[in-house]
Structure 1
């Protein structure tokens, strides 16, 4: 401390005295003061629990080909492609510049193409010891003890991120000025990188790649930035100012786009379905989401909410009465949440950009020159748009569906899933598998008519007590994917049997006759024949409630008796020996 005092006396100017005082204070705080008490910061630290959370809601990872994957699922469903087991090799990146989980992206793409059709099931087995986890270790133990059987896949995916050519083109621009008291600088740069991926489909039994089932595509990701620097002096003081803005398109989203495009091509070629129909959607346009974002930002919040609500009205999620409710009303929030669940989105119950984008994508088309056009809506109001002409270019199209049009009818798709050519005749004792799919979230009820006319409600039941199902979700009857399905559907006595399903917009079970409210999988007293059930549903759904129904019928034939061959007569020598 004496040394500091002597040094301070030697300083004559006020500025030096101020610096010496600050130096003394710093020395006291660093060496001479007592340690800080963390308990005094407890109130400050308590904010960490809240501030540690993300500031924005999570969103579903949707790419340009999300709708194309759903389109492929419908193609497989219509073509009745049987379930095929498939697996994949690790998809390496030898450049080391794209550290993404490509194999998991393949699994997701396969799953999205099989939601309705069940066309593919992925065999999850890892042989790389470094990548094995608890489930894989348990699987190995059970396999060694013959307690589990691993099914052999029919197909496998092979390939790699073929190349990553960074900065194929690069443009830089720098300029600056210099003077005695002012310096300025401006810089701008932009570059493009190409990522290439090649995937192939192979026959697992022979470990050979199938000729023609390959996909080789490239995608460009770019980056760019701008910067401004200013520096100068005012008297003895200097100042400096710089600002910049940059963007970098992610490699992860680019690889997902390549993976989904490749799986659409490979699966479509293998199944021999017109997969190209699913690749000509407007949503595949590179600027689709960017254009939707621009239109979203142009309009006020009230306009955006009104557009989404009219789209939900067209889809049947809202009625004319509920359209008059505010967007934060519980009924409207429930309708938005139901729509988000049907679209595979993160359910929030609020109108965010992702909901806006999914709701209005059916009202976007391509113009004659390849530009994206709004169909039946604009940003200035919520009424159907009138085509406007500016500089000779049409900026809105008058054709196509109009927002707020009559709700799309509720559709029900009931199918027999048995892999047989003739699905109208079954031998007695044969297990029968069905599936039902609804076009939008609704309540599903299924009944079976035995050959003697007795009626049983299959769904809902004690195992599946909820009647509410999501749109485009395949309901298996019975659920043959689980170890204990709850019931088994066998062809009974010879005669005519049938299954009929009803999809309704509301829960109508309380409106049905008392005998039809009995527990599921039990014979309904007083009901004989499907016509009586259909009449009860017609009465319960009066008043304009959305309803869809479908019946599947088959004939049960007697079980064939295989004759037992009579024992061959004994040789003559053997017969004589017995006598």
Structure 2
């Protein structure tokens, strides 16, 4: 190849550089278009590989709605809903401040209100808005005040950034031109994987007595994944650098994680207060020993006839049309034996066994 031909190709490459770079400046073209496509495919891949917070809800059902279905069964005979109010649920870590990047939301109260409302008609949220009441009262409008039964308080109490982090990288390079640096190329790849942890604490106060409800609380944590993959390629010809760099970042939605934590914590808090098996609505959750113990104690505190009524009422939810007579007759015993056998409960039939009743109670069928 003649020097004239080589120089002409070099000039053509240099003259074409502005057009190549110009193509990078417009969305949908050049490197910007590649980056957009890479980002979308990268996020889709990570979503397939990493369970999203919301995907953990059992059978696709959100926890508050599932809890509402539980209450329709376990509080069927309650005609008055549980009236709930809350204090401001805020960030106690300080990381919601703009000076530190506002990594967390400042106020979670709206999320909590939404969670309580999603449970359904068995729980009713009462707004804690004094200005609203004052304005209506001044205008002469009639306004009845509903007193809440319980008051929810709490906050984001922990945000541990990068409790676990790993990174790896590799690169390689090559040079042409007899060491004169006329043509150089390099390629590299880096990856990082970081796990952070969020914690929310909620507690419950009884409004009438102005005291905290003992043993009723929710303190739940969730891990959030931040994954980064970086690849670069660059090539230099005659000192004029052409480069391509790709950085993909996948961050599980921190705000989605907080919303899910609020949902789970509200369900746990109210489930403990009402002594119902709320864990059936929380994926991968174990039975709550404190709730089961309360069920056992409440059952054993009854006289014999009332214990029989509780068993007859529970067996009704298993499909047995038994009169709630309080008499332990042959029909009641037969229904109890059949239910215990179908659930594979290995306990003797005894009206004095609180654990037997608790096992029957927490496994009452609930429609999906």
TM-score of the pair, normalised by structure 1: 0.34
* Cα distance change of structure 1 residues 236 and 196 upon mapping to structure 2, 3 Å threshold: closer
Task: Tell me the alpha carbon deviations over residues 379-419 of structure 1, each in whole angstroms, 9 at most, x when there is no partner.
Answer: xxxxxxxxxxxxxxxxxxxxxxxxxxxxxxxxxxxxxxxxx
**1:261 partner SS:** helix
1:159 is aligned to 154
2:68 is aligned to 73
1:141 is aligned to 135
1:171 aligns with 2:166: yes
Q: Distance in 2 between matches of 1:67 and 1:228?
A: 38
The partner residue of 1:272 within 270, 275, 285 is 275
Q: CA deviation at 1:178?
A: 4.0
Q: Distance in 2 between matches of 1:269 and 1:230?
A: 57
User: Cα RMSD (Å) of the superposition?
Assistant: 3.0
Q: Distance in 1 between matches of 2:281 and 2:162?
A: 32
Q: CA deviation at 1:174?
A: 2.8
1:89 aligns with 2:84: no
Matched ranges for 1:216-365 at <5 A: 216-235=219-238, 237-279=240-282
Larger RCO, structures 1/2 (Cα 8 Å, 6+ apart): 2
**2:91 partner SS:** coil
* Cα distance change of structure 1 residues 244 and 153 upon mapping to structure 2, 3 Å threshold: same
**1:98 partner SS:** coil
Q: CA deviation at 1:101?
A: 4.8
2:306 is aligned to none
Q: Distance in 1 between matches of 2:68 and 2:228?
A: 41
1:528 is aligned to none
* Cα distance change of structure 1 residues 62 and 276 upon mapping to structure 2, 3 Å threshold: closer
**Residues 163 and 197 of structure 2 are in contact (CA less than 8 Å); yes or no, is this contact kept in structure 1?**
yes
Q: Which structure is larger by alpha-carbon Rg, 1 or 2? A: 1
TM-score of the pair, normalised by structure 2: 0.53
Matched ranges for 1:373-522 at <5 A: none
1:206 is aligned to 209
Q: Where do 4+ consecutive residues of structure 1 move more than 6 Å?
A: none
**Residues 194 and 220 of structure 1 are in contact (CA less than 8 Å); yes or no, is this contact kept in structure 2?**
yes
**Residues 231 and 247 of structure 2 are in contact (CA less than 8 Å); yes or no, is this contact kept in structure 1?**
yes
Q: Distance in 1 between matches of 2:260 and 2:234?
A: 44
1:103 aligns with 2:109: yes
The partner residue of 2:126 within 98, 123, 127 is 123
Q: CA deviation at 1:155?
A: 0.7
1:385 is aligned to none
* Cα distance change of structure 1 residues 150 and 177 upon mapping to structure 2, 3 Å threshold: same
**Residues 143 and 149 of structure 1 are in contact (CA less than 8 Å); yes or no, is this contact kept in structure 2?**
no
**Residues 90 and 107 of structure 2 are in contact (CA less than 8 Å); yes or no, is this contact kept in structure 1?**
no
Q: CA deviation at 1:179?
A: 4.1
**2:143 partner SS:** coil
Matched ranges for 1:532-551 at <5 A: none
1:113 aligns with 2:119: yes
Structure with the largest fraction of helix: 2
How many correspondences in the alignment? 216
* Alignment gaps of 5+ in structure 1: 1-14, 23-60, 283-471, 473-579
